[in-house]
Structure 1
Amino acid sequence: MKYTGYSFLLFLLLLSTLANAQTYKNELGLRSDNDSYLGQGSDRYYTNGLFFNFRHALDQQKLPQNLEKKTYEISLGQKMFNPYSGYAPDPATQDRPFAGYLYVEGAMNWFYSNESIIKASAQIGTTGKNSLGEAGQKLLHRAIGFYDIEGWDYQIKNELALNLSGQYSKLLTRIADNAVEFSFEGYANLGTTLTGAGAGLLFRTGSLNQLFNSAYTNSVIGNHAKTKALVKREIFFYAKPQLNFVGYDATIQGSLFNNNSPVTFGREPLVFAQQLGVDYSSQRFTFDFSVLFKTREIKSTARAHQWGSIGLYYRFDK
C-alpha cells in the first residue's frame, strides 16, 4: 500500500514535470495591422500591414552555457501607405505618397540566460508597383465593400529593397513577485528602404515569463529547454514608449538613388511612438492585441497617426 501510494505520487510528479517542461520547436504566426481596428473611420498613412512568419528553435543542449535559446525565423510581409485617404486622385492634395513595401526576411535570435536578447535580420523586397500595394488594397476594399480606391497612379516608383536590422533587449528589473517588469529595447536599421535607430523602455505587468520564454519576445518555442518557464500561461499588459531617429524612409522620400517618384516629401527626423497592448499565451497558442500611436512622420500637412495590431501564433513540433 505504501509502495502504491509512493508510486502514485511519483507519477503525479512526473506528469507535472512533463506539463511544465512541454515545449514546441516550431511556431507559425500571422499579424495584421490596420487603423480600422481602432474604430475611428480613418484610412490614412500606414493603413494596412500583413505578416506571415515561421520560427524554429535549435537544440538548446548544444548551446554555450550562457546562451539559453537560439531561434531562426523566416517572414513574408507587406505594408501599404496612403495619403489622408485611399481615395486621393489629385496629387496636389496628397499629404503622403501612396506606397507599398513587399519583402522576405530572414532573422536569427540569441536569448541569453541573463535575459538579454540580440536579433539580426536581413530583408530583400521591393517598393513601388511591384510591391502589389495597389492591387492588395483594391482587392481588400472590394471584398469588404469599402469605397473605391484612386490615386495609386502617383505611388512611389519600383526599387529593389535591401535592408539590415539589429535589435538589442535587456531586462532591467523584475519586482512584485515577478508581476512587474522593466526592460530596455533598442534597434538600428540600415538599407535602401529604411535607415534609422531607436530606443525605448518596455513595461510589463501580469503573469510573466522570462524574456527567453515569453510570448512578447516570440520565444515560447524551445528544443530541450534548459530553464523551466515561470508560468505555464502568460497574460499581461505592456506599454512601450520609444524615441525613433529616422535617417531615411523610401515610402515617404522615394528612391534613395533617383528622384523619379511623382509625389514625395521630407521625413520628420525624430518620431515618438507609444505602444500599448495585452497578450495571452499558452504553451500552444498566443493572442496579442496592441495599439500604436506615433507623432507626425512627414513634413507636410499630415497629422499624427495611430493603428491597431492583432497577432495570432500557433506552436507545433512536426
Structure 2
Amino acid sequence: MQALSRTLYWVRKAAYITILSLSVCNLYGQQRYELKIASANDNYCLNLHDGYYTNGLFICVNYLPHLRVATDSVHKLVKVIASYQAGQMMFTPESIRNLSADQIDRPFAGYLFIQKGMTFLYRRGHVLTTNVSLGMIGPASLAQQTQVLIHRAFDLNIPKLWSYQVKNEVGLNLQLQYWHELVPLSQSRRWFDLHGTAQMTLGNTFINGSAGVLFQWGRFEKPAQSSLYEARLERHASTRNKVVEFYGFFHPTYQYQVYNATVEGRILGSNAGSILSSVEPWVYRHDVGIVYSQNRWTAQLMYSLKSREAVSMRHAEQYITILTAYCL
C-alpha cells in the first residue's frame, strides 16, 4: 500500500505540473496540445459484474510535433500528431466473490505501461498510427493494490487470490493501426463515413493482428480534423472555426492472437504458482460509441463487447469506456 501511495503521489504531481505547463503555453497562444483521460470498467454497464477486463485508466497528452513535414496541397500528408500515454489495465476471473483456486477462469493479471505514439493523417482520409510501449505485467503492475484500494473505498468485496496472478515481466511492444477510407468524404456530405481497419501488435506481452470495418454517422469533420482520430489540434487554432461534432460509430473486428501474457504468463522464466490459461486464437469484438466535440472539449462514451480471449473463460466480456479530452 505504501508503494501504491507513493506512486499515486508522483502521478498527481506529474499531472499537476503537466496541466500547469500546458496552461502557460495556452496563455501565449500555443494551442497545440490535448490532455485526454479515459476510464474503462465493467461496472459502468450497471450489471453488478466485476471480472475479466475489470478496470482500465489511461492518461494521454497529444501534441503537434516540430517536424519538417510537407503538408501542402501537393503532398499526401495533411497532419502529424504525437502522443505520450500512461495506463494501467486490470484483469480478474469472472467473479471475485467467495472465489476458490479452482474457480479462476481467467488469470489475475495487471499491465502497467507508458507509450509513445505517432499518428499520420493523409489527404484522402487514410490514417496510420504507430505506438511503442514499455510495460510491466505481474505484481509490479500494482493492479492488486489498485483494486484493493478502490474496493475498500467503495465498500466492495476484497479479492483474496491475487497470489495466483501472472509473474513479473518487462514488456516491449510495437503496435501499428491503419484506417483506410472506403467512401470518399466530400464537403457536401458529412453524415456517413466508412473505413476498413487493420491492426498489428508485436512484442513479448502481446502478439496479435486484427481487421474490421468502422462505420461513422452523424455530424463530423474529415479524419484530419476529427476527434475520432484525436486530430482536432491545429497549429494555428485561433484562425480556424472548429465544426461541432456529434456522431456515433460502430467498429466490429476479428482478431487473431498468438500470445497474450496476461493470459499465458511471461515468456521468459518460470510461471510456477500462477493459474494460467491458453488463448482463444480467434476473438471477435465490437465497439459502439457516441462522441460530442465542441471548441476545446471532447466527450466520448463507448460500449465494448469481446468474445472469450482465454480458453478457460466461461463467458464473453463487456465494459464501458468514458473519455474526456481538452485542447490547450
The verdict on a shared fold, with TM-score over 0.5 as the criterion, is: yes
Structure 2 counterpart of 1:251: 262
Cα deviation for residue 58 of structure 1 reads: 3.2
> Partner residue of 1:58?
65
Q: 1:155 aligns with which of 165, 170, 177?
A: 165
Q: How does 1:198-217 map to 2 (within 5 A)?
A: 198-217=210-229
Q: Return the offset for 1:88.
A: 5.6
| Residue in structure 1 matched with residue 80 of structure 2 by the alignment | 70
Q: Is residue 180–residue 204 contact of structure 1 (8 Å, CA) maintained in 2?
A: yes
Of 230, 233, 236 in structure 1, the residue corresponding to residue 247 of structure 2 is: 236
Q: Which TM-score applies when normalising by structure 1?
A: 0.87
Corresponding letter in the other structure for 2:42: D
**2:289 matched to which residue of 1?**
277
* SS of aligned partner of 1:197: strand
Q: Which residue of 1 aligns with 2:46?
A: 39
Which residue, 79, 99, 124 being the options, matches 2:134? 124
Partner of 2:209: 197
Corresponding residue for residue 5 of structure 2: none
1:10 counterpart residue number: none
Give the Cα separation in 2 of the matches to 1:59 and 1:171.
27
Counterpart among 175, 192, 200 of residue 180 in structure 1 = 192
Asked if the contact 2:31/2:236 (under 8 Å) is kept, the reply is: no
Where does structure 2 lack aligned partners over 5 or more consecutive residues? 1-28
Q: Which residue identity is paired with 1:184?
A: G
Corresponding residue of 1:19: none
State which structure, 1 or 2, has the greater radius of gyration over its C-alpha atoms: 1
* Shift in alpha-carbon separation, 1:218–1:260, aligned structure 2, 3 A: same
Deviation at 1:119, TM superposition (A): 1.0
Give the 3 Å change call, closer, same or farther, for CA 279–264 of structure 1 in structure 2.
Answer: same
The CA distance in 2 between the partners of 1:71 and 1:146, in whole Å, is 41
Deviation track 1:211-241 (CA, whole Å, cap 9, x = no partner) reads: 111111111112147x968x61100010001
Counterpart in 2 of 1:30? 37
RMSD of the alignment, in Å?
Answer: 2.0
Q: Does the C-alpha gap of structure 1 residues 257 and 187 become closer, same or farther in structure 2, counting only changes over 3 Å?
A: same
Aligned residue for 1:136?
Answer: 146
Give structure 1 stretches of 5+ with no counterpart. 1-21
Of 106, 109, 112, the match for 1:96: 106
The percent of aligned pairs where both chains have the same amino acid is 30
Counterpart amino acid of residue 25 in structure 1: R
- Structure 2 match to 1:15: none
Secondary structure class of the residue paired with 1:212:
helix
Q: Which moved more, 1:232-241 or 1:52-61?
A: 52-61
Distance 1:108 1:224 in 2: 20
